[in-house]
Amino acid sequence: MQKKGSGNLSRRKFINLGVQGYAGIQLTQALGTSLLASGCETATARTVAGACYHDCPDTCSWKITVSGEKVTRFEANKENLFTAGKLCDKMTAFPADVTYHPDRLLQPLKRTGKKGQGTFAPVSWEQAIGEVAGKLSAIVADKGREAVLPFVYAGTQGLIQGSSLSNRFFGHLGSSMLEGTICGAPAYAGVSATNGDALGVLPEDIVHSRYIVLWGVNTMKSNQHLWPFILHARQQGARIVVIDPMASATARQADWHVQPAPGTDTALALGLIHIILSEQLQDQDYIDRYTSGIEALGEHVAAYPLARVAEITGLEPAAITTLAREYAGSSPSLIRVLIGLEHHASGSDAFRAVAMLPALTGAWRHQGGGLMHFTFEAFGQALNWEALDFHKTLNQNKRRAINMVQLGRALNDTSLQPAIGALFVHNANPAATAPNQNLVLKGLEREDLFTVVLEHFMTDTARYADYVFPATSQLEHWDLMDSWGQTYLNLNEQAISPLGEAKSNNEFFRLLSAAMGYEAPYLFEDDLSIIKKTLDSSHPYLEGITFESLREQGWAKLKLPSPWLPHAEGNFVTPSGKCEFYSHALEANGEEPLPQFRPVQYSADSLKQYPLHLLTVKTSHNFLNTSHANVAHLLEKEGAARLDMHEADARERNISDGDIIRVFNERGEVLVRARISDRLLAGVVNMPQGYWSSLMEGGSSANALTQDLLTDRGRGAALQEARVQVARV
């Protein structure tokens, strides 16, 4: 079963949290009366349910009131106990910001100017689809099927519109495959190497925790519906610790902020294990019963004594010792991770090491104790995933894989046979989100690269397309929404007819299949049929949850056992059935059986030339990756992109707060304003990701500076392994 971050691996009611209900936005004010036709007031109003499609662990439920064909009210679903009647600030005006936005693309476009200029002419669907089919057929005939590359990711996380039919189309065609590993794959690879899977403590159960370690996560901003549960735990006596190289909003609200140097989490985790074992703070009974490899682990962490770990991480030895003792001595103790640790050279092994801590201390014995990570595997077990993974039965010939992290390399590789001749992009904006941005743009500029983009707006990627097709928004199509951060399943009902000539992703591929002369019925299956087949499951997690019940309520919580104690008595999904400190499976595959700290080695000249460690984390409050970064009122609210830097680093370069500065390295340069900040350690700077290059002075954004280095395992993106220099303009 294909799921987020897993490569080819298969996939209580709670009240009084202090969460206030939030009224939905009144669209008669937000959208303006011009969008509400005079006849709408007398039309029969109806309410339909839906859910957010963004790459976010919360997957909020919402309700939409429609009068005629106009949205008149858009609000969070107050009945869903996780959404709790509140949407994030990015989504409160979603209909105005996306569906009804004046710049939204509503008809097919054909390029008329040079690639990257964004000059297009309107064209009919019939003509555009016909010409795309003709060009695609010619490329396949001339260069071969693998000359075609689909590029799709989490622009929508819907199970239906995400890639259900596009996967079938490209599987039928026999194109190259995309390794969708830029986010989540190293994290999953690390945790599953230790535990067998990533499904641990459920979000609501954090209220039972008494020592909460938020490791590499900014919960208040990137997982905000979990935060009220954490505050409830604090009211019950829990201590909140944040481990983060940056003083995030969450770190500032924590009881203790532990601030290691970037990319040193593996060493810190191994150092904590060393202290726990050397001071005999472990739960030996749990270790004896439910783990394997403790002897080897003990020998391994002897190489990570306190002094060395303090030197690596930059932390005071006393802080490391206190953290180990408090964590091991508290019960229930919980570690919350998402993906933040993975974007470094040894990112996957950081997750491997961190995942060992709950078994070492026996935290899994208690409700609210253990590791909280991904939840998608619960849906993978509950749903009829074969309805979605049908494409894997197609075209049994081995197809080559292109890693999305290294798209720039692939598009410019003259030795690649066959060279990529056609690129189909949907649910993605690689010109802004892929690392080594200038190399990606160089590839997109190729006149011999045929590029097709499905989009809402003229994004940085769409500007390089030969054809751009208008895609429906979440209000205009059906979808089924699982989640990688909670356990509520949502049905997204189509609320209004598509505006203009917009069509859903699936409808695009049905039309293209017909234009290509394909006849296989699976290429033309309708969306409701796929949804109903996906829900056709006898798994107990889905008991009582049907298409009809979801349409009535909009959402349903999976029927997981309660209390949820997945590893209280072991039951790890590893080859041994135990938590594997030492992985014989990895060893048999020629990989390191124990986690290693592997820092990137830079030459002395390189460190002198580019002395600052660049982070490009999600610090923007109003964008979701690059989504919404073109919306004027959100851009104004967010403000100009700034580089956070320590006062000492700024003083050394004669830089004052607010100065326009040039941030550069061997890959590119970005013009931003300086922000002198106490959020970072000296020698570390941070630039927010998410801004569109085309809307920034100088035409470059953060990924012009990141490198396309792959992580230790999971083949993810070591985005945070970049070094830069900074100078005043």
pLDDT at residue 178, rounded to an integer: 97
CA–CA distance, 581 with 293 (Å, rounded to integer): 5
Which residues of the chain are under the pLDDT cut of 50? 1-42
**CATH 3.40.228.10 placement within the chain:** 201-372
CATH topology of domain 201-372: Dimethylsulfoxide Reductase; domain 2 (3.40.228)
> Among residues 515, 539, 179, 243, which one has the least CA distance to residue 386?
539
CATH code linked to domain 604-728 = 2.40.40.20
Number of residues in the chain? 729
Q: Which residues pair with 401 in a beta bridge?
A: 177
Q: Where in the chain is the domain with CATH 2.20.25.90?
A: 25-99
Q: What is the pLDDT of residue 392?
A: 83
- Mind listing the pLDDT tens digit for each residue in 528-549? 999 999 999 999 999 999 999 9
The dihedrals phi and psi of 15, each to the nearest 5 degrees, come to -125, 180
Query: Which part of the chain is CATH 2.40.40.20?
Result: 604-728
Q: What is the pLDDT of residue 22?
A: 27
Structure tokens at 422: 């056609």
In angstroms and rounded to an integer, the radius of gyration of the C-alpha atoms of the chain is 25
Per DSSP, the residues of 463-511 read GG-SEEEEBP-TTSS-EEE--SSS-EEEEE---SPPSTT-B-HHHHHHH
Q: What confidence tens digit (pLDDT) does each residue in 422-432 have?
A: 999 999 999 99
186-211 pLDDT, tens digit per residue, is 999 999 999 999 999 999 999 999 99
Report the percentage of the chain scoring pLDDT > 70.
94
Tokens of 684: 């570390």
Superfamily for domain range 25-99: ADC-like domains (2.20.25.90)
Predicted local distance difference test score (pLDDT) of residue 389: 87
pLDDT at 445: 98
In SS3 terms, 521-543 reads as HHHCCCHHHHHHHHCCCCCHHHC
End-to-end CA distance of the chain: 51
Residue 130's Cβ-count burial label (10 Å; 0-12, 13-18, 19+) is middle
Q: What is the DSSP string of 87-116?
A: --TTTTTHIIIIIT-TT---S-EEE-S-TT
**Taking the model in full, what pTM does it have?**
0.93
